[in-house]
Amino acid sequence: MVTLGAGATKRVTADIGSLGKNMLLVIPGQQRGPPTAVVPFDMAMVDAIQRDVPGLAEVVPELAVQGVAVNGNNNHATQINGTTNAYLTSRDWDLSDGRNFSGAELLGGKSVCIVGQTVRKELYGDQVPIGARLRINKATCEIIGFLSPKGEAIFGQDMDDIILMPLKAVQRRLAGNTEVNVIRISVAEESAIPSAKDQIERLMRERRHVIPGQVDDFTVQDLKEVTQILTSVTVVLTAFLSAVAAVSLLVGGIGIMNIMLVSVTERTREIGIRLAIGARERDVLLQFLIEAVVMSALGGVLGVIIGLGGSAGIASMLKIPFVLQPGVIVFAVTFAAVIGIAFGFFPARRAARLDPIEALRHE
The mean pLDDT value of the chain amounts to 82
pLDDT tens for 28-67 read 877 666 666 678 898 999 999 999 999 888 899 999 999 9
Where is the domain boundary, 164, 190, 207? Answer: 207
Q: Are residues 244 and 195 in the same domain?
A: no
Q: Are residues 201 and 240 in the same domain?
A: no
Quote the pLDDT of residue 356: 74
Percentages helix, strand, coil for the chain, rounded to the nearest 5? Answer: 55, 20, 25
Q: Is residue 98 part of a domain?
A: yes
> Which parts of the chain have pLDDT scores under 70?
12-21, 31-37, 153-156, 224-231, 359, 362-363
Q: Which residues pair with 225 in a beta bridge?
A: none
**Residue 99 within any structural domain of the chain:** yes
Q: Report d(CA 202, CA 214) in Å as an integer.
A: 13
User: What is residue 238's DSSP assignment?
Assistant: H
As for how many domains the chain has, the answer is: 2
H-run or E-run covering 139? strand 139-147
330-354 as b/e: b if 16+ CB within 10 A: eebbeebbbbbeebbbebbebbbeb
Considering the domain architecture, whether residues 115 and 262 belong to the same structural domain is answered as no
Kindly state whether residues 160 and 280 are assigned to the same domain.
Answer: no
- In this structure, the answer to whether residues 83 and 189 fall within a common structural domain is yes
List, in sequence order, every residue forming a beta bridge with 164; answer none if it has no partner. 81, 114
160 and 250 assigned to the same domain? no
- Among 190, 207, 224, residue at a domain's last position: 207
The number of CA neighbours under 13 Å toward the Cβ of 156 is: 1
**Separation of alpha carbons 124 and 126, rounded Å:** 6
DSSP 8-state symbol, 171: I
Return d(Cα 160, Cα 115) in angstroms, integer: 8
**51 and 166, same structural domain?**
yes
Instruction: Report the C-alpha gap between 59 and 81 in whole angstroms.
Output: 15
Taking the mean position of all CA atoms in its chain, how far away is CA 346? 45
For residue 300, tell me if it sits in a domain: yes
Could you tell me which of 261, 278, 288, 266 has the C-alpha nearest to residue 352? 288
- What pLDDT shows up at residue 81? 94
Distance between first and last Cα of the chain: 47
Dihedral sign for Cα atoms in the order 241, 242, 246, 248: positive
pLDDT tens, 231-244? 677 777 777 777 77
What is the distance between the alpha carbons of residues 248 and 113, in angstroms, rounded to a whole number? 56
Domain of 297 in residue numbering reads as: 236-361
Flag whether 244 is in a domain: yes
